[in-house]
Amino acid sequence: MTFDVWWLSYLVLGGFVGFFAGLLGVGGGGMMVPVLTSLFVAQGMPKDNVVHVALGTSMAAIVLTSLSSLRAHHSHGAVRWDVVRYIAPGVIVGTFLATFIASRLPTKPLAIFFACFMAYVSLQMLANIKPKPSRELPGPVGMSAVGAGIGGVSALVAIGGGSLSVPFMTWCNVKVHHAIGTSAAIGLPIALAGTAGYLINGFGHTDVPPYSIGYIYLPALVLVSLVSTVVAPFGARLAHQLPVATLKKIFAGVLMVLCAKMLHAIFF
């Protein structure tokens, strides 16, 4: 394997992904997928599966990012392990099965779904919409059902689930810092199940880039993970010191721009 100048962009991407993963409790897929898709198209990779490769690579990269973020939040006592225990089975099943759906969708509809979901996430951040804590967490069956829904959507857009799990836990009277830390823990089973699914579904495809295993492009995976794992703990430490609300709005604006760039790269 020879060095490619494009790989430098993966190092930069890893820095941004790790920072926001630690700071906001997100897996970083919302940023990785549009950037990787645009980079892959610019490098001349076939468009037929370019979004699938971006999704699979992003999900695999989230494994180490989530693990690093999880350890940092756990050290601050911000993880509700009772929530993780009940929601994880549904998360794993929902995420794994949804990769089979994503793998059978054509590139353009998949890209449109991703962009629409990220537009929803961005608007939610810009408007600072927070559900009122008006109920308690459901029982084990209810938690598994919620987990399956969170995992399913997360697999289709390669996120760690924070944009769904944090509002849900806040709605259920979980303190916001605990919700962010717990979402980092939930992101790990999502990433593991999603990685396995995209790995399996990508086998046998000949129109994936060299150095790929299934839908996972190894150079991007290694370089993004390398940097994001180092940076994520710094983001987690700064979560209690920086104006997170302001940074969320900046992050939301960046997401919308990246998604627009991704759609332009695919459709034009």
144-194 pLDDT, tens per residue? 999 999 999 999 998 888 788 888 998 998 888 888 889 888 989 999 999
CB 97 within 8 A of CB 199: no
Angle CA 115–116–121, to nearest 5: 95
CA-CA distance, 100 to 243, in Å (whole number)? 39
pLDDT of 27 above 70: no
Greatest C-alpha distance within the chain = 56
- What's the CA gap between 1 and 6, in Å, rounded? 14
What are 175's two structure tokens? 């303190």
Q: What angle do CA 9, 229, 10 make, to 5 degrees?
A: 10
Closest Cα partner for 191 from 105, 92, 69, 72?
92
Cα distance between residue 213 and residue 199, in whole Å = 7
Q: pLDDT tens digits, residue range 192-215?
A: 999 999 999 998 887 888 889 999
> pTM of the entire structure?
0.87
pLDDT higher for 138 or 24?
Answer: 138
